[in-house]
């Protein structure tokens, strides 16, 4: 018998609706849900692989413990007992900071990652907290922190209403969008052009997105900050700045900051001529609705924060911030509502409340740069990292100078991984705790409803029944172990804390609809639900569209979402600066010493002649997903995709041939990769995707091992960071390339 289930795809940020048909207890077919209010049937080739992922024989179903160098299956009680027996004494002996935690990307795609990691972080109370954020979007958090006092408030391009979209360092036709949740990105881009708008793509490679744009500017890698500052320079120089947004402070210092970045001066640096730069600046400031969208190629860069800040400031001074068609802030349905009479501003944002032990990198959002994890493990002394917990992460493939990190991982006293695969990172684990597959979990996009180009709410119940504990329970048990309550303590203790905190927040919100209500009543009203569902219901009901526990009869609740399996469309984005602003001054704060200093550092490099060295950049492919979906034959079959793109002129000069092998060397490592000669990359630039290199001993990835590819992060340099965010610079890596 067939049953049909509707759910949101958890694999990337696009949040497409899926229609899953189950026959005799197994997934029979997955296709796009044509009735999904947001994606309307769109999916990419990954969306239909959730069944294959669930059925993958290499996906772990039971915990593994390492005994005599081999991973053996054990039952759950034994696995948790092992963690307790080893972690607790280690932490007692060496202190809280001796236990590090690394949180990987899928935490943004699971309910557990959104809600149940927090108690574990609190229990660990370690300074050594790391995540994929510092090889990704941390610069954007910091620029929002500085500008708006709110690192979570990252504006998104209002794709469906913009008339001019400038995309820097993103390739949404492959990635399907990031920090901009928009299912069917290709269709939305086509619609911009259909309504007479323009798309400009700034990328050192003619990506698939660049190929469908009106204009492609092939920028020199790592120079986006200089180019964006030059655009602001032109807007101010030509008196075209208009700022209707209010309240804004510090604009009087902007002219001095952008002064050195004239279009003529940055032209040889960026590889974009001054006339083009002036024209784009004029288009952005001629009154049309425009959005400037920066992503991974610009954030994983030495000046990532400056870049992200400059993109928002450019929109601010051209009246394209917080207006339809410009850059806007979504209103997540599970967020805290903002009472109308709340005074503007808040506590502000700061970094550096503590620093990393070895290199003194400032803390940012409670985290240290993952590029510094290896040295924190290697360097003896008080606070040395001796144990690591990874949750949904593969830092052995996703973080810079990864051979060094692997040597460090091998030296740890204890590694515990919450992960579904025995892979390049978890092979170092002493205990692996595998959560259920995606189809066995419920889903709700806590991370992406705040980054979405429309306000949306969608809840997906599990499709298949889980055989082991849920990911939330695994994390709760780890928190109980760390906090000394023991492996057999009741996870309800943790769930109670989490739901209690949500209810407490809602009932103490100054001027809120539920102010003064008994938080215990709210918790009791959801007590019949599973723990993840309790959290969703509490947050949605107390959120800006919620039923406020009976106060708003038409409002949202989990039950409303259950009754709408294709999602609820809550409308287009609306201006909401007042609601997101949390700076101490209650204004958008444009001026900051750190940004000024970083811009001055950048200005000081402008007049050096650009070197003729080759630089390495990354790229993505729609059939791949970071490092962990290469074990599915349907996605990796066909011609190899982990190739080094080399421009024909460079290939000729270096003696490289299409299909031949290149030896690529950087300051920190060397790899051999197959060459693909292509004029899609700029001369002087080579491109290799990340997340490959699956031939490691001890991993259990049969399909991936046959299509291993090479690990580009052997080449990336952990010493090059954006100082304001701690983010690693993963692009513009100087390399030498020679025939293999």
Ligand X SMILES: Nc1nc2c(c(=O)[nH]1)N[C@H]1C(S)=C(S)[C@@H](COP(=O)(O)OP(=O)(O)OC[C@H]3O[C@@H](n4cnc5c(=O)[nH]c(N)nc54)[C@H](O)[C@@H]3O)O[C@H]1N2
- How far is residue 367 CA from its own chain's centroid? 14
Residue 219 or 291 having the CB closest to ligand X: 219
Cα gap 245→21, rounded to integer Å: 49
Q: Is 27 a binder of ligand SF4 (CB under 6 A)?
A: no
Least distance to ligand X, CB of residue 593, Å: 26
Task: Tell me the sheet residues that pair with 7.
Answer: 18
Residue 596 or 621 having the CB closest to ligand X: 621
Q: Is 43 a binder of ligand SF4 (CB under 6 A)?
A: yes
Contacts for 144 with CB less than 8 Å, ≥ 6 apart? 150, 151, 152, 153, 154, 155, 308, 312
Least distance to Mo ion, CB of residue 648, Å: 31
Residue 105 or 128 having the CB closest to Mo ion: 105
Interface segment toward ligand SF4; rule CB under 6 A; list 11-19, 235-243, 299-307, 487-495:
11-19
Residue 110 or 150 having the CB closest to ligand X: 110
Residue 226 or 603 having the CB closest to ligand X: 226
Please report the DSSP string for 502-570 in residue order: HHHHHHS-TT-TTTTS-HHHHHHHTTTS-HHHHHHHHHHHHSTTB-GGGT-TT-B-HHHHHH-TT-EEE
Q: What is the pattern of x (binds ligand SF4, CB under 6 A) and - over residues 321-360?
A: ----------------------------------------
- How far is residue 512 CA from its own chain's centroid? 31
Give the start-end residues of each E strand in 535-678: 568-572, 588-589, 614-617, 644-646, 661-665, 670-677
Residue 203 or 278 having the CB closest to ligand X: 203
Q: Is 14 a binder of ligand SF4 (CB under 6 A)?
A: yes
372 to each of 360, 366, 375, how far by Cα in Å? 10, 14, 6
Cα gap 353→362, rounded to integer Å: 7
The answer to whether 118 and 495 have CB atoms below 8 angstroms apart is no
The answer to whether 62 and 468 have CB atoms below 8 angstroms apart is yes
Q: Is 136 a binder of Mo ion (CB under 5 A)?
A: yes
**Residue with the closest Cβ to ligand SF4?**
47
Residue 36 or 174 having the CB closest to ligand X: 174
Cα gap 371→725, rounded to integer Å: 12
Interface segment toward ligand SF4; rule CB under 6 A; list 41-49, 310-318, 479-487, 497-505:
41-49
Among 22, 27, 30, 44, binds ligand SF4 (CB under 6 A): 44
Residue 318 DSSP class: B
The residue length of the chain stands at 740
37 to each of 15, 286, 457, 570, 571, how far by Cα in Å? 11, 34, 9, 10, 10
Residue 43 or 370 having the CB closest to ligand SF4: 43
Residue 474 or 526 having the CB closest to ligand X: 474
Residue 203 or 445 having the CB closest to ligand X: 203
Please report, as ranges, the residues that interact with ligand X according to CB under 6 A.
12, 104-106, 110, 132, 135-136, 168-172, 174-176, 178, 202-205, 207, 219, 221-222, 224, 295-298, 300-301, 391-395, 398, 418-421, 423, 435, 471, 617-622, 624-628, 690-691, 712-713, 716, 730-732
Interface segment toward ligand SF4; rule CB under 6 A; list 6-14, 425-433, 552-560, 570-578:
6-14
Residue 712 binding: pick among Mo ion, ligand X, ligand SF4, none (C-beta 5-8 Å cut-off by kind): ligand X
Q: Is 171 a binder of Mo ion (CB under 5 A)?
A: no
Least distance to ligand SF4, CB of residue 7, Å: 11
Q: Is 182 a binder of ligand SF4 (CB under 6 A)?
A: no
**Residue with the closest Cβ to Mo ion?**
136
Least distance to ligand X, CB of residue 30, Å: 17
Contacts for 594 with CB less than 8 Å, ≥ 6 apart? 146, 724
Least distance to ligand X, CB of residue 691, Å: 5
Contacts for 616 with CB less than 8 Å, ≥ 6 apart? 664, 666, 685, 686, 687, 688, 712, 715, 716, 731, 732, 733, 734, 735
Residues 140/142/147/149 CA torsion (nearest 10 deg): 120
Residue 691 binding: pick among ligand X, ligand SF4, Mo ion, none (C-beta 5-8 Å cut-off by kind): ligand X
Residue 638 DSSP class: S
Residue 731 binding: pick among ligand SF4, ligand X, Mo ion, none (C-beta 5-8 Å cut-off by kind): ligand X
Least distance to ligand SF4, CB of residue 14, Å: 4
Cα gap 250→248, rounded to integer Å: 7
Residue 326 or 450 having the CB closest to ligand SF4: 450
Site for ligand SF4 in 140-179 (CB under 6 A): 176
Least distance to ligand SF4, CB of residue 78, Å: 35
Least distance to ligand X, CB of residue 392, Å: 3
The answer to whether 229 and 298 have CB atoms below 8 angstroms apart is no
Cα gap 8→43, rounded to integer Å: 11
Least distance to ligand X, CB of residue 272, Å: 10
Cis peptide before 247 (omega within 30 of 0): yes
Which residues sit at the interface with ligand SF4, rule CB under 6 A?
9, 11-12, 14-16, 43-44, 46-47, 176, 183
Which residues sit at the interface with Mo ion, rule CB under 5 A?
136
């Amino acid at each position: 018998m067939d049953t049909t289930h509707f759910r949101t795809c958890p694999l990337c940020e696009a949040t497409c609706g899926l229609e899953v048909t189950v026959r005799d207890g197994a997934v029979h077919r997955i296709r796009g849900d044509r009735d999904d209010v947001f994606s309307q049937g769109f999916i990419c080739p990954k969306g239909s692989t959730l069944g294959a992922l669930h059925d993958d024989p290499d996906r772990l179903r039971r915990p593994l413990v390492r005994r005599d160098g081999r991973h053996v299956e054990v039952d759950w009680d034994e696995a948790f007992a092992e963690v307790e027996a080893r972690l607790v004494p280690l932490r007692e002996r060496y202190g809280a900071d001796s236990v590090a935690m690394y949180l990987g990307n899928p935490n943004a795609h699971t309910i557990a990652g959104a809600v149940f990691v927090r108690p574990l972080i609190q229990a660990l109370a370690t300074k050594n907290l790391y995540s994929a954020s510092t090889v990704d979007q941390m610069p954007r958090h910091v620029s929002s922190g500085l500008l708006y006092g709110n690192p979570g408030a990252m504006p998104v391009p209002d794709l469906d209403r913009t008339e001019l979209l400038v995309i820097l360092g993103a390739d949404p036709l492959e990635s399907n969008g990031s920090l901009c949740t928009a299912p069917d990105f290709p269709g939305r881009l086509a619609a911009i052009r259909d309504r007479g708008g323009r798309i400009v793509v700034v990328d050192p490679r003619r990506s698939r997105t660049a190929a469908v744009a009106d204009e492609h500017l092939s920028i020199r890698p790592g120079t986006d900050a200089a180019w964006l500052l030059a655009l602001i320079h032109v807007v101010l120089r030509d008196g075209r700045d208009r700022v209707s947004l209010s309240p804004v402070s510090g604009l009087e210092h902007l002219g001095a900051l952008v002064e050195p970045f004239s279009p003529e001066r940055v032209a040889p640096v960026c590889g974009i001529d001054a006339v083009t730069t002036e024209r784009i600046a004029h288009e952005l400031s001629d009154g049309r609705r425009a959005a400037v969208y920066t992503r991974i190629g610009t954030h994983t860069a030495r000046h990532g924060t400056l870049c992200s800040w400059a993109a928002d400031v450019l929109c601010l001074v051209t009246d394209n911030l917080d207006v339809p068609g410009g850059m806007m802030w979504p209103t997540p349905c599970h967020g805290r509502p903002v009472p109308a009479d709340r005074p503007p501003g808040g506590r502000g944002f700061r970094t550096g409340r503590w620093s990393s032990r070895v290199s003194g990198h400032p803390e940012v959002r409670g985290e240290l740069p993952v590029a510094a994890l290896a040295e924190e493990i290697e360097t003896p002394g008080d606070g040395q990292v001796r144990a690591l917990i990874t949750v949904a992460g593969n830092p052995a493939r996703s973080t810079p100078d990864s051979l060094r990190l692997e040597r460090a991982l091998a030296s740890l006293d204890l590694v515990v991984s919450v992960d579904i695969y025995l892979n390049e990172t978890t092979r170092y684990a002493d205990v692996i705790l595998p959560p259920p597959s995606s189809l066995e979990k419920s889903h709700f996009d806590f991370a992406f409803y705040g980054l979405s180009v429309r306000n949306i709410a969608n809840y997906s119940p599990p499709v298949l029944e889980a055989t082991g504990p849920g990911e939330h329970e695994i994390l709760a048990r780890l928190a109980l172990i760390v906090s000394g309550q023991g492996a057999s303590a009741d996870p309800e203790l943790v769930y109670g804390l989490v739901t209690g905190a949500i209810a407490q927040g809602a009932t103490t919100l100054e001027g809120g609809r539920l102010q003064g209500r008994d938080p215990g009543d709210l918790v009791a009203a959801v007590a019949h639900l599973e723990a993840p569902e309790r959290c969703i219901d509490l947050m949605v009901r107390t959120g800006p569209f919620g039923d406020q526990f009976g106060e708003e009869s038409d409002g949202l609740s989990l039950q409303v979402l259950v009754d709408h399996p294709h999602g609820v469309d809550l409308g287009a984005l609306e201006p909401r600066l007042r609601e997101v602003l949390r700076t101490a001054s209650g204004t958008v704060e444009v001026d900051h010493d750190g940004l000024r200093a970083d811009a001055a550092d950048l200005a000081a490099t402008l007049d050096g002649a650009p070197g003729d060295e080759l630089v390495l950049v990354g790229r993505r492919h729609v059939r791949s997903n970071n490092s962990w979906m290469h074990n599915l034959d349907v996605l990796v079959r066909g011609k190899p995709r982990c190739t080094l793109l080399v421009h024909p002129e460079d290939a000729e000069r270096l003696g490289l041939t299409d299909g031949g092998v290149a030896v690529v060397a950087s300051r920190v490592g060397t790899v051999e990769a197959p060459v693909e000669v292509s004029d899609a990359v700029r001369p002087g630039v080579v491109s290799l995707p990340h997340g490959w290199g699956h031939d490691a001993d001890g991993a259990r990835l049969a399909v991936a091992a046959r299509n291993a590819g090479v690990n580009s992060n052997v080449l990336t340099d952990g010493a090059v960071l954006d100082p304001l965010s701690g983010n690693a610079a993963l692009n513009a890596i100087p390399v030498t390339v020679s025939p293999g």
